[in-house]
Amino acid sequence: MLFMCHQMAMKKEAQEKQEKAEQLRKAQAVSDIPIIWILGGPGCGKGTQCAKIVEKYGFTHLSSGDLLREEVASGSDKGRQLQEIMTSGGLVPNAEVLSLLHAAVTRTKGSSKGFLIDGYPREKNQGIEFEQKIAPADLALYFDCSEDTMLKRILARANAAEVKRADDNEETIRSRLQTFKRNTSAILDLYADKTLTINAERDVDDIFMEVVEVIDCVLQKKQRAAKVC
Ligand code: AP5
Ligand code: MG
């Protein structure tokens, strides 16, 4: 009996070791290409800058908000629960967001030149879990913008849109701003060594020039690291 228990424990240990090695292997494969977190409050211009980065570098743009809205649009029960949280301006549980991101990274990593993870992390544990379960981020771009400007930009977007986002109304925007204010300084402190803060209260193209400088730098660093390996 004792012998059988010992054998089962050994088997479990071997299985766990194999799973860990597999996780590490997958993380390393993703780490060969740049992973960039795109941070900033609601309406600061994350999506706008991501579109320009995609155009120039051909990276894969994964917006946590877009992935969640796709889930909502599917009409599933889970989608209805997500919609409720999103229209309250709160944060969806990380298990949901991370699993959508994980699936999207896994689906596209074979053909991707780099990942833009837009709207993530929104609180520091999201960053920790992402790096444990997917791969370390090379860079975080934080688009710094005043609340007043962000509010105005979203209201202007809502006015111009044919289909308005359910969370683009003044009450929800104010709540989104509160959620953002509550969580962001902890993220910026934790990831200070890989975060670049960019003044987002400027012309879209001026902001992008700064973005290009830092992405070029990351790409050069990756290339040099690949040669050494
Ligand atoms: P999400 O969809 O990510 O929304 P958000 O963070 O509130 O940001 P937006 O998409 O509204 O704005 P943006 O920064 O992309 O700005 P844009 O480029 O469009 O998330 C929605 C919700 O999903 C969250 O509230 C939460 O509930 C949930 N969620 C998402 N991620 C989550 C996570 N990680 N964990 C938990 N829950 C999560 O620009 C806005 C407007 O300004 C546009 O009209 C644009 O043309 C204009 N504009 C942009 N740049 C400039 C500029 N420089 N000058 C003038 N106008 C500009
Ligand atoms: Mg966006």
Q: Exposed (0-12), middle (13-18) or buried (19+): which is 191, by Cβ within 10 Å?
A: buried
Residue 30 is predicted with a pLDDT of 63
Ligand 1 atom with the smallest distance to the CA of 165 is 11
The ligand that comes nearest to the alpha carbon of residue 51 is 1
Q: Which residues surround ligand 2, an ion (CB under 5 A)?
A: 46-47
Q: What percent of the chain has pLDDT over 90?
A: 82
> How much is the pTM?
0.89
Instruction: Give me the mean pLDDT over the 14-21 stretch.
Output: 81
Scanning the structure block, which residue is given the tokens 């402190």?
189
The phi-psi region of residue 7 (left if phi > 0; otherwise alpha if psi is between -120 and 50; otherwise beta) is alpha
The residue whose CB lies within 8 Å of the most ligand 1 atoms, and thus the one to mutate among 37, 48, 146, 205, is: 48
The predicted-structure confidence for 181-220, as pLDDT tens digits, reads as follows 999 999 999 999 999 999 999 999 999 999 999 999 999 9
Instruction: Give me the mean pLDDT over the 71-75 stretch.
Output: 95
The predicted-structure confidence for 27-55, as pLDDT tens digits, reads as follows 555 678 999 999 999 999 999 999 999 99
Across the chain, how many H-helices and E-strands are there? 9, 5
Cα(227) to centroid(ligand 2), Å: 35
The phi-psi region of residue 43 (left if phi > 0; otherwise alpha if psi is between -120 and 50; otherwise beta) is left
Residue 140 is predicted with a pLDDT of 98
Ligand 1 atom with the smallest distance to the CA of 157 is 44
Whether residue 109 contacts residue 140, with contact meaning beta carbons closer than 8 Å, is answered with: no
Cα(11) to centroid(ligand 2), Å: 46
pLDDT at 10 over 80: yes
**Which residues is 37 bridged to in the sheet?**
117, 140
